[in-house]
Amino acid sequence: MAESSGDATRIMVAVNESSIKGYPHASISSSGAFEWTLNKIVRDNASGFRLLFLHVQVPDEDGDSILLSRTLNLVQSAGQTMIHGFDDMDSIYASPEDFKGMKDRNRKRGLHLLEYFVNRCHEVGVSCEGWIKKGDPKEVICHEVKRIQPDILVVGCRGLGPFQRVFVGTVSEFCQKHAECPVITIKRKPREIPQDPVDD
């Protein structure tokens, strides 16, 4: 991981696409967790935090990966690009202009999701970076927490009942039990819950 900016608190935010609208729209839970982090933790102290966005793409049903095996990295720090030392690094994206030349459809889907969060951070002056991994989201998130060692992990939560959790499972619940850092889960607001609460 790149050197952190001074003593900035590093907050990992797990983000995913909307199951209702699809890419490039962020899920209700991801958007809510991110906005909560900005409003309740970062507030007016943008320089005191660095947000780390992780998007995990799930392999499709045919076993083909939605994303090639390399990790894509986004980095933005007060308008300055910082390059990571990842062995599996592909490309660096640090500003809205960097996204315009993307040709690969599969990469573009995940990148446009991350682009939303990078642009929002850029607007409010919070340094950030983001990357895409593939696999089982709950396992990958916990693995990345162990690898990156953020100060806090923030995940959105659909607020499913016990019956729904049996069939759907929850990433946030798994992360609370297994992530090696403090975990904050942000539930959707009642007015944001779709007709089918499993949707996000």
Q: What is the DSSP string of 86-99?
A: -TTEEEEE-SGGGG
Positions of the chain with pLDDT under 70: 1-6, 60-107, 158-169, 190, 192-200
In sequence order, which residues have a C-beta less than 8 Å from that of residue 82 and are 6 or more positions away? 2, 3, 75, 129
Q: CA-CA distance, 187 to 119, in Å (whole number)?
A: 23
CATH topology of domain 9-136: Rossmann fold (3.40.50)
Q: CA-CA distance, 128 to 80, in Å (whole number)?
A: 11
CB atoms within 10 A of CB 163: 8
pTM of the entire structure? 0.73
DSSP 140-196: HHHHHHHHH--SEEEEEE----HHHHHHH--HHHHHHHH-SS-EEEEEPPGGG--SS
CB atoms within 10 A of CB 58: 14
Helix (H, G, I), strand (E, B) or coil at 103: coil
Give residue-wise pLDDT tens across range 73-117.
455 444 443 434 344 444 555 566 655 554 455 567 788 889 999
| pLDDT score recorded for residue 76 | 47
Compute CA distances 125 → 44, 81, 84, 97, 113, whole Å: 10, 14, 20, 17, 19
Compute CA distances 117 → 26, 31, 53, 78, 102, whole Å: 9, 9, 8, 15, 17
Burial class (CB in 10 A: 0-12, 13-18, 19+), 102: middle
| pLDDT score recorded for residue 6 | 63
Q: CA-CA distance, 199 to 127, in Å (whole number)?
A: 31
Compute CA distances 136 → 14, 141, 142, whole Å: 13, 8, 10
Q: Which tokens belong to 39?
A: 């409003």
Helix (H, G, I), strand (E, B) or coil at 132: strand
Helix (H, G, I), strand (E, B) or coil at 161: coil
| pLDDT score recorded for residue 193 | 62
| pLDDT score recorded for residue 93 | 59
